[in-house]
Every structure is written in structure tokens, then in C-alpha cells.
């Protein structure tokens, strides 16, 4: 799968809802309930970061939830990409981009959403064929001001900014022409996940969906 097609597929996913929940889940037992609540709240695209030992099992469980599109975040290596796809991930997200990772995702037909925060990084991604990128870490890298600045010379690139974004700050990002959606971790706080408070999470998901 070429980077061009990967970006087309990821852009289509990013257009499904204004927010992609970024999930760090420590217990796969919670996976199905969490995914069900998020999908019910209108957020069908889920990013499970590979930051916990349970992450691959979480992806396996979430991939079973009807209506959901589960991807793997923090994909850094070809091995990460392969294990994520084998677990059922339908896309991958990386904080950056290397040619090795790009080749690996192309070889296994796993759409990659690579990260870029500078014009040079975005141009390099474009050179490889990507036009749908992650902007990370969004707030630390200048937030909406940086995205506006990059959008002027590179209007053909679209972004999903992630990192430090909240319900309050998301609308400013979503108002930018080069932003398709945002990634956010505020929707599923650890305490609610640990307690299985799916109603609270579904309520936050509905609030996030209303940002469109």
C-alpha cells in the first residue's frame, strides 16, 4: 500500500469524527466496555498507544466492537507495526517518520499516520508520499499558531494535532483549514476506565462529537 493510499485511508478515518480518543489502557478487561462507550458516543476511531504491556490485547478486544476502527499509537519500529496489525489494528500512528517505518507499513498494507511538527518534517513526509499527518506534540510545538504558519506554504497537507489538547482548546484547532480532527486523552481519564464508568466516558464522547 503506497503512502498516498495510506493517507487517503487515514484522511477518511479522520473525517468520521472531530476527535480521535488517544488511549493508554493498562487492563485488557476494560477494552470492550471502553470501546463500546466511545463508539456509542459518536467517536468510532480509536488510537490505543503501545505504551503498556496490555496494549496489543486491548487492540484485539477493541477490534471486535462493532462500528469501531482501532489503530495503534506510538508505533516506532517495523516490529511494532507488524504486531499491531496482527492484533487487529486497522491503522498506525507514529510520533515521527523514518523511511524504515514507512517501508514496513507499505509492505504490510497498514495505513500510517506519521508525525511532523516542522516544515522540513512535513516536506520530508510529502516527499515520501504522505499528505495526512499527525502534529505532535501540538501544544508544546506551538499549537494553532504553528499549524497556521505551516498551512500557508503547505496547504496540501492535512493534520491531526495531538498532545495537550482539551475540550476547551479543540475548537480553535478544528477551525483551521489544515486540521481534519484532533487527538485527545481527556475523554477517558484513568479513574473512569479503572472504575468502568462507561456512562461518564460516553457523555464526554458525545460532547467531543458535538465539536464538529
Residues forming the active site? 47, 134
CA dihedral for 1, 17, 181, 195, sign (positive or negative):
negative
Take residue 206 and report the three cell numbers written for it: 458525545
Take residue 31 and report the three cell numbers written for it: 477494552
Take residue 88 and report the three cell numbers written for it: 487487529
- In 138-209, where does DSSP find H-type helix? 143-151, 170-174, 190-195, 198-209
- In the chain, where does DSSP find H-type helix? 3-14, 31-40, 55-62, 78-87, 99-107, 119-128, 143-151, 170-174, 190-195, 198-209
Query: How open is the CA angle 155-159-164, to the nearest 5 degrees?
Result: 135
Q: Bridge partners of 92?
A: 72, 112
Amino acid at each position: 500500500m503506497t503512502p498516498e493510499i495510506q493517507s487517503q485511508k487515514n484522511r477518511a478515518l479522520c473525517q468520521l469524527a472531530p476527535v480521535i480518543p488517544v488511549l493508554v489502557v493498562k487492563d485488557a478487561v476494560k477494552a470492550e466496555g471502553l470501546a463500546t462507550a466511545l463508539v456509542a458516543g459518536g467517536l468510532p476511531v480509536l488510537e490505543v498507544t503501545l505504551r503498556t504491556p496490555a496494549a496489543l490485547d486491548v487492540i484485539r478486544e477493541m477490534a471486535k466492537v462493532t462500528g469501531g476502527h482501532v489503530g495503534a499509537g506510538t508505533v516506532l519500529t517495523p516490529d511494532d507495526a507488524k504486531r499491531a496489525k496482527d492484533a487487529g489494528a486497522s491503522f498506525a500512528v507514529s510520533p515521527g517518520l523514518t523511511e524504515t517505518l514507512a517501508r514496513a507499513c507499505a509492505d504490510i498494507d497498514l495505513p500510517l499516520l506519521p508525525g511532523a511538527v516542522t516544515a522540513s518534517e512535513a516536506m520530508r513526509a510529502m516527499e515520501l508520499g504522505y499528505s495526512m499527518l499527525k502534529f505532535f506534540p501540538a501544544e508544546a510545538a506551538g499549537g494553532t499558531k504553528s499549524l497556521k504558519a505551516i498551512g500557508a506554504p503547505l496547504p496540501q497537507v492535512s493534520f491531526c494535532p495531538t498532545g495537550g489538547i482539551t475540550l476547551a482548546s479543540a475548537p480553535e484547532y478544528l477551525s483551521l483549514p489544515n486540521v481534519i480532527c484532533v487527538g485527545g486523552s481527556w475523554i477517558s481519564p484513568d479513574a473512569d476506565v479503572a472504575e468502568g464508568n462507561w456512562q461518564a466516558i460516553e457523555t464526554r464522547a458525545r460532547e467531543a462529537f458535538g465539536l464538529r
